[in-house]
Structure 1
Amino acid sequence: MKVTRIAYSARLNPGKYAALVEQARRLGRVRSEMWQRYGSINGVGAGLRDRQVRDRWLADGTHVRFGVLANAWKETVRDAMADIAANLAAAKVEVQWAIGRRTNAGAERKRMFTTLRADQWASDPFLARQMRKHWKRGRNRTHDQIVVCADKYNTAVDGQSRLWLAVPGLEPRKMVKIPLSTAVAPTGTLRLILRGGRVEVHYQIDAAEMRSSQRPCGDATVGVDKGYTEALTDSDGQPHGVQLGVVLSSESDRLKERNRRRAKLRSIANTAALRGNHAKAHRIKVNNLGTVKRDRQAARYRARVRTEIFTAVHEVVEKAATVVAEDLTKRFAGRKTLGKNINRRLAGWTKGVTAEALRNVSERRGSALVHVNAAYTSQTCHRCGAFGRRSGDRFHCTPCGVVWQADVNAAINILHRAGDPDIALHTPHHKVKQILQDRTDRHRTRLPVQDSSPAIAERRANYPNRSAMSN
């Protein structure tokens, strides 16, 4: 398993940064050419690989007009081809869901899946319409990246124990030396991302080399539920990542206030421009409406959230050999339309970070991750199985007469769902609800008769609950 590490430049010379920006801009034209030719429906079915594309460009002279070294544009072609393939695969996933909603016939569904997998969907009206909907014409917006092959750079340490990374520039045999803020030399293929006057060096390492991967996992089986005031809550009642809610709320409040002030400044700049005072409008846009500081704050916030979530997952794996969780990669459509402030607090992107952390940490430390169907796990009581009412972090069960902690109750239900013979991972939610309701009705019929009237007792014995006798 590979994990990505990032090294940052330290006090980089502005002239070197400008040279790297120019190189990244020219390589962005290479990406744009790739997406224009092969990143749309017209390029489907060509069956070309990156090496074949490079041979074509060398034969017809396309590579000459980019003005970069041969290895630089070849690595960019390879990287762009991989991006196109990933983009196409993501669109196919959406189309597969559409196929499942369209038909239940096994033969027809198999035919559609085979046609989609073989990239022959252009002749099928339904598949072509769905692919045009989910895979739009490709367009490149990446003009700040440089991909460097593993054998085209070198590292060195100077007399002051500073690590320098030398990468190819625009001219042959002239390297651009970048000082790094780390003592660990990057390895493998590098991806240089230029942001705000600083170079980010992305590279991959083997997960087995990390110290956290050498820590053993626990021996228990634990169910976990994702929360918002904390990252995870396990079935033992222990919360993990309790600072996540504070981080999300404080960032949401800060963004609300910052966006309000930026909107006011933007209005002032637009008013000044309409009155002909373009100098004032330009000063406001340059000095007050920039993106460098905003992007750095956003990067620090994302890093803090990731640290909180990964730390919480490590705490869970510390005690669990098997982690039972819901599939957080699935999309969930809410019934209510929420406001911008609430959406910022819920921070739906953290769901993907939690899914990534569960998968990576479990795999690296040897713990098994089991995904289950989480439908109605937060709306049923883990003791009696009856539907209850959730209010904030409390779950009210009327039959039991108990108020449970909502996240703990959901985590226990998720743990029980792992051994459920009737509810599979992809069972539709309406069938899950029917199964749970039937179980509740059967449970009620086994309860002793509360009314002492002989006539009512005899009628209940002869005619049990009809919903328990349904499908």
Structure 2
Amino acid sequence: MKVTRVLNAKRPNKGKVAALREQARRLGQVRTEVWQRFGSVGGVGLSDRKIRDGWLKEGRAFPVSANAWKETLRDAKGNITACMEAAKVKVRQSVFRHTRDEAEQKRLFTALKRNEWTGDSYLRRLMRKHWHHGHNHTHNQIIVRSDNYTTFLLGGCVWIKIPGLVKGQRIAILLNTTITPTGTLRVIIKDDDRIEVHTTVNVETKQDCGKRTIGIDKGYSEVLVDSDGDHHGQELGQVLTEQSDKLKAKYQRRSKLRALANTTRNPHKREHIRRFNLGRKKLNRQMDKTHASIRDVVFQSVHKVVDKAAVIAAEDLTAPMSGKSFGKNVNRRLASWTKGVIAEALDSVSSRRGSAVVLVNPAYTSQIDSRNGCLLGKRQGDRFYCFDGVVLQADQNAARNVLARLFDLDIDRFMPYRQVKTILQARTERLRLGLLNQDSSCSPVRVLSTESELPKNCHEQLCLGF
């Protein structure tokens, strides 16, 4: 398994930083042109090789070395292709909802896969809806091919030499590592003159996960709550709230200073405010530190879950969900929720440690009574009030429902929430009438989500699909 490692340059001098920044700026112009000309339908079916050959045939000249702009072209075209493939995922979902004819679905999916959707009016309309023309905002990166740099050891640390703007001259960078980087490098020049070198390494995959099957509920006040009732990463909510409140106060003060600079008639005062009061170097450094601590908490929590489980049932939260609106402060804090970091941690840790993450339909998992699998109860804060007076812990109740959803044959992952609601309402009505069908998905054998009531060979059954 390949992962990215970030190496930092140790004490780079200002001359090297300025030379690298100028080279990155010029390569940013190449990246901008690629996005402008090939960032939409004009780039469909064109590989970076074809674009490169066309530019060479035209005699295009760039103020950087040939290898530098060719690698930048390849990287930018790869990003454009990734955006297009992400849009295809949403288009496939729309096609599946549009028609149930298997022959028609196969025709549309084949045209989408072969990039022949430009000739189909329906697919072309969907792609225009989900794939917007991108723009480049990256002007601080240099892509260095694996055969275009050299490494050497000096003073117990690794140095790399990468090409500069002057032909034949290389820039030596001291790294904070004793392991020689390999493969293609991505050199990033930060705003505070720090230099990062991103490289890929092969990580050994281990089989040191647990042996159980559990469900998890992703939260804001804590990272995860599993179906056993264990809370992982309970300090996450406090960190997110403190960061959001501090940024709110800081941005309010910055807005007042910016308004003062725009309205003052004193040019020296205006320039002083913009130079010394509206910078982002310190703010970016503080935010990087906070984000690093958040990632640390999230990954530690996921490791604790993987220590127990070989199969993890989690909610599929990739689709945008519109819920009720809270106060502006609550909405602001919830906007900083790191569900993307949690999903990344689950995917990375499970792949490296041999466990499997199975995504399930998230509809109504927080509103179901986990004891009977029906819509009988109400969630208020951290408590779930059942119809018979029993009070459950809301997050644990949701985690147990996620685990039960893993074995629910009636509700699949991509079922619309309205159909899920219809199924749950029918089960609730049957439970109220006392007419439970023992062969249905809401029978007592199926609705209970504790591990003692799951099939004994559930782990083997699930692993057959992986």
Whether TM-score is above 0.5 comes out as: yes
- The one-letter code matched in structure 1 to 2:320 is F
Query: What's the counterpart of residue 202 of structure 1?
Result: 198
SS for the counterpart of 2:159 is strand
* 2:299 is aligned with 1:319: no
Whole-angstrom CA distance in 1 between matches of 2:379 and 2:197: 46
The one of 368, 379, 393 equivalent to 1:380 is: 368
* 2:421 is aligned with 1:433: yes
The one of 77, 83, 86 equivalent to 2:79 is: 83
Contact 2:206 2:354 in 1 (8 A): no
Matches within 5 A, 1:54-93: 54-62=52-60, 64=61, 66-93=62-89
- Which is greater in Rg? 1
Whole-angstrom CA distance in 1 between matches of 2:183 and 2:107: 41
SS for the counterpart of 1:205 is strand
SS for the counterpart of 1:178 is strand
Whole-angstrom CA distance in 2 between matches of 1:405 and 1:200: 44
Change (3 A) 1:97 1:215: closer
The one of 138, 145, 148 equivalent to 1:142 is: 138
TM-score, structure 1 length as denominator?
0.87
- The one-letter code matched in structure 2 to 1:360 is S
The one of 170, 176, 180 equivalent to 2:171 is: 176
Whole-angstrom CA distance in 1 between matches of 2:85 and 2:400: 35
Change (3 A) 1:386 1:51: closer
CA shift digits 1:98-155 (9 cap, x unpaired): 3344444444444333333332333333332332233233432211110011122223
Change (3 A) 1:349 1:4: farther
Which sections of structure 1, spanning at least 5 residues, go unmatched?
A: 449-467
Displacement, 1:378?
0.7
Query: What's the counterpart of residue 22 of structure 2?
Result: 22
Whole-angstrom CA distance in 1 between matches of 2:279 and 2:120: 48
Contact 1:256 1:341 in 2 (8 A): no
Displacement, 1:10?
2.3
Query: What's the counterpart of residue 39 of structure 2?
Result: 39
* 2:310 is aligned with 1:301: no
SS for the counterpart of 2:199 is strand
- The one-letter code matched in structure 2 to 1:118 is R
* 2:394 is aligned with 1:406: yes
Displacement, 1:166?
1.6
Whole-angstrom CA distance in 1 between matches of 2:315 and 2:233: 18
Query: What's the counterpart of residue 440 of structure 2?
Result: none
Change (3 A) 1:69 1:162: same
Whole-angstrom CA distance in 1 between matches of 2:428 and 2:341: 35
Whole-angstrom CA distance in 1 between matches of 2:68 and 2:212: 50
* 2:239 is aligned with 1:244: no
Matches within 5 A, 1:182-193: 182-193=177-188
Query: What's the counterpart of residue 153 of structure 2?
Result: 157
Displacement, 1:447?
8.4
Aligned-pair identity (%): 52
Contact 2:244 2:336 in 1 (8 A): no
TM-score, structure 2 length as denominator?
0.88
Provide the aligned length of Structure 1 versus Structure 2: 435
SS for the counterpart of 1:192 is strand
Query: What's the counterpart of residue 461 of structure 2?
Result: none
- Judge which range, 373-382 or 106-115, deviates more: 106-115
Displacement, 1:189?
1.0
Query: What's the counterpart of residue 116 of structure 1?
Result: 112
- The one-letter code matched in structure 2 to 1:318 is D
Change (3 A) 1:94 1:424: closer
Displacement, 1:32?
2.0
Displacement, 1:54?
2.2
- The one-letter code matched in structure 2 to 1:404 is L
The CA RMSD measured in Å over matched residues stands at 2.2
SS for the counterpart of 1:202 is strand
Displacement, 1:52?
2.6
* 2:342 is aligned with 1:342: no
Contact 1:327 1:355 in 2 (8 A): no
Query: What's the counterpart of residue 458 of structure 1?
Result: none
The one of 189, 210, 222 equivalent to 1:218 is: 210
CA shift digits 1:295-333 (9 cap, x unpaired): 2222222211111111100000011111111123x2232
SS for the counterpart of 1:222 is strand
Contact 2:217 2:396 in 1 (8 A): yes
- The one-letter code matched in structure 2 to 1:11 is R
Query: What's the counterpart of residue 249 of structure 2?
Result: 257
Displacement, 1:4?
1.1
Which sections of structure 2, spanning at least 5 residues, go unmatched?
A: 437-442, 444-466
Contact 2:385 2:392 in 1 (8 A): yes
* 2:348 is aligned with 1:360: yes
Query: What's the counterpart of residue 454 of structure 1?
Result: none
